[in-house]
Chains A and B, each alone.
Chain A
Amino acid sequence: MNTLLDVKKLSIDFKTSNGIVKAVEDVNFKINEKEIFALVGESGCGKSTIAFSLMRLLAKNGMIADGNIYFKGKDVLKLTEKEMFSFRGKEIGMIFQNPLDSLNPVMTVGGQVLESLLLDNITREKAWQKVIEVFEDVRIPDSKERIKSYPFELSGGMRQRAMISMMISRKPLLLIADEPTTALDVTIQAQILKVIKRLKDEFNTSVLLITHDFGVVAETADRIGVMYAGNLVEMGEVFEVFENPLHPYTKLLMQALPTISKKEGRLVTIPGMVPNLINPPDGCRFSNRCPQKKDICTKIKPDFKEYPQEHYCSCHLEVQ
């Protein structure tokens, strides 16, 4: 399998009035062609920051402090601003959490997809035909009529489909899905996930799925990366990680998942707080909450090491 996206030693800083927030530090991962890679972690752990950095669309106070992003072998960080305009949308698309706000309220949904298609210098007529095609690709019923609808006339699920169709209209190789199902009810969630999986099967699109829902991950993803406080702590095949979690954080997360079979009344939680990222602790960022903390954990930052089954983890596991 060929590597599509290769992120190496990525660190992202945000300048704030309180100091520099080290939002993402030393993150390494790869996404192969035709693969759904899930990035999970709690709010504020840097998932979306990574997503935006892939397209170099960080907020003004954010900057990529270190590392490289290779897409199809090209160094994304070395592209000129002009090259970025044709890179975005054409090579990488992105769908957002809130489907209503992600569509221009005063433009018909078809018109918005058309806008994106016209960036490729094709005729309006051809573009309209393509709009109907992509609407059919994401299973929007009655697509010839729906292209004339305004976002407010559509349901949440339909809007999310319209959003997806806008982002895949130029057939990008990688689709970033930033919590695509969070705002939707379960039935619609299942439908949207089906659409995303079909994109992979029919158009060979790779997907970077950002979520905090393990159910969604188990349903769709091939590989998973677990993030904690700006670090990627564990990565591997979905079932390998689910069956055999190595990092204490992942283990605790798995225990915290509510299951129907468990009889206990209370949900398991992880005690403690995420450390302040302006002055992150030396050593492992999870050390203050870790039940298996050793002396070394507060002093030396663990490396992101490879374990059998292409399973990666950053923890001082072998130190007793």
Chain B
Amino acid sequence: MKKSRMKKVFSNKYFVVGLLISLSIIICAIFADVIALHPYDEINLINKLQKPSMTYYFGTDMYGRCVFSRVIYGTRIVLQVGFIVTAIQLLIGVTLGLLSGYYGGSVRRIISFITDITWSMPSIVMSLAIVTILGPSLTNVVIAIALVGWAQYTKIISAKAQTLKNLPFIDAARVLGESDFNIITKYILPNTINQIIILVTLTLPTAVLSTSSLGFLGLGAQPPAPDWGVILAEGIKFLRPAPWISIAPGLSLLFVVLGFNILGEGLKEILDPKYGS
């Protein structure tokens, strides 16, 4: 039974393609030292603004640093930020969503008030404000993006929890003598997994994009950190003579965002208990 389920899982094209892309990014991050040709901050002014070649796959930038190596090391920042931000958002958003949806009444009113306030602020402006107060650094960027983006989890999980709690199986659980905590964690939460996964696949790429945006604006990771946004910003000034500096991190971003989205699509299909039967 288990084997056939595995087979079904791997016959899902979305899942396989998404998994391959995501794995390739994770491998790049873990083995960056091996894959990269040069240290990401090795300056070699003689070879500045070199075209892509066999020694420099993606060419070099204005300091002669290897763009390929910088992009590879950049995956570490991308993954770190993506996962930490998503984890914080999940924790805040899902917890508040479950509480507001399950208890309703004034709990719901208070939580949706806070959510609405967070929701109504333009995320990048809000992150800018937080980073300006806390000072530009990658940690502060993580905090800023996480604090801005949890609201959509709360909204969607709350709505879902509200429909779920009126279903007879929640009554059944109550009749059996389950506590509120057990009902929320064992009956409501597992039934929101689909929503959570869709949200994760939406917020993870958004988090990556926001980090890069803040990096691009000079408020995130600071040079010479190989943040993709930073690399993009540096390349802008040389867009005509050396477009590869900006194209490489730009395409990488596209690749990552696409990969996570496809993976999410596949996971969504697989996690449905009706899948494949």
Contact = CB atoms under 8 A, between A and B. Distances in A.
B169 interface: yes
B193 A106 contact: yes
Interface string A141-176: 000000010101100000000010011001000000
B176 A88 contact: yes
Nearest to A92: B175
Interface size class, chain B = 20 to 34
Most buried by B among A84, A101, A170: A101
Contacts of A104: 169, 173, 187, 190-191
A83 B171 CA distance: 18
B273 to A, nearest CB: 5
Interface in A92-112: 92-94, 96-98, 101-107
A236 interface: no
Nearest to B103: A60
A182 B190 CA distance: 29
B176 A119 contact: yes
A105 B172 contact: no
A89 B176 contact: yes
Nearest to A106: B190
Contact of A102 (B168, B178, B186): B168
Contacts of B105: 60
B169 A102 contact: yes
B174 A57 contact: yes
B236 to A, nearest CB: 48
A90 B177 CA distance: 8
A119 B168 contact: no
A106 B196 CA distance: 15
Nearest to A103: B169
Given A96-B168, A98-B168, A101-B169, A106 B177 contact: no
Contacts of B173: 104
A250 B104 CA distance: 41
A264 B169 CA distance: 43
A96 B186 contact: no
Contacts of A29: none
Given A98-B168, A101-B168, A104-B169, A57 B193 contact: no
B175 A57 contact: yes
Nearest to A94: B175
B277 interface: yes
B177 A86 contact: yes
B274 interface: yes
A105 B175 contact: no
B179 interface: yes
A55 interface: yes
Contact of A163 (B104, B172, B174, B274): B172
Contacts of A85: 177-179
B175 A115 contact: no
B167 interface: yes
A167 B171 contact: no
Interface string B1-20: 10000000000000000000
Nearest to B104: A60
A153 B1 CA distance: 15
A30 B191 CA distance: 39
A298 interface: no
A93 B176 contact: yes
Contacts of B274: 152
B177 A107 contact: no
B273 A150 contact: yes
A82 B193 CA distance: 30
B273 A89 contact: no
Nearest to A57: B174
A89 B186 contact: no
A153 B277 contact: yes
Interface string A30-73: 00000000000000000000000001010010000000000000
Most buried by A among B105, B172, B175, B273: B175
Nearest to B105: A60
A116 interface: yes
Nearest to A120: B177
Nearest to A153: B277
A242 interface: no
Nearest 8 CB-CB pairings of A with B: A89-B177, A88-B177, A89-B176, A102-B168, A101-B168, A94-B175, A116-B176, A106-B190
12 contacts: A60-B104, A85-B178, A85-B179, A86-B177, A89-B175, A103-B172, A104-B173, A104-B187, A105-B191, A106-B190, A116-B176, A116-B177
Interface of B: 1, 104-105, 167-169, 171-179, 186-187, 190-191, 193, 273-274, 277
Given A94-B175, A106-B193, 16 more contacts: A57-B175, A85-B177, A93-B176, A102-B168, A102-B169, A102-B172, A103-B172, A104-B187, A104-B191, A106-B190, A106-B273, A107-B190, A116-B177, A119-B176, A119-B177, A150-B273
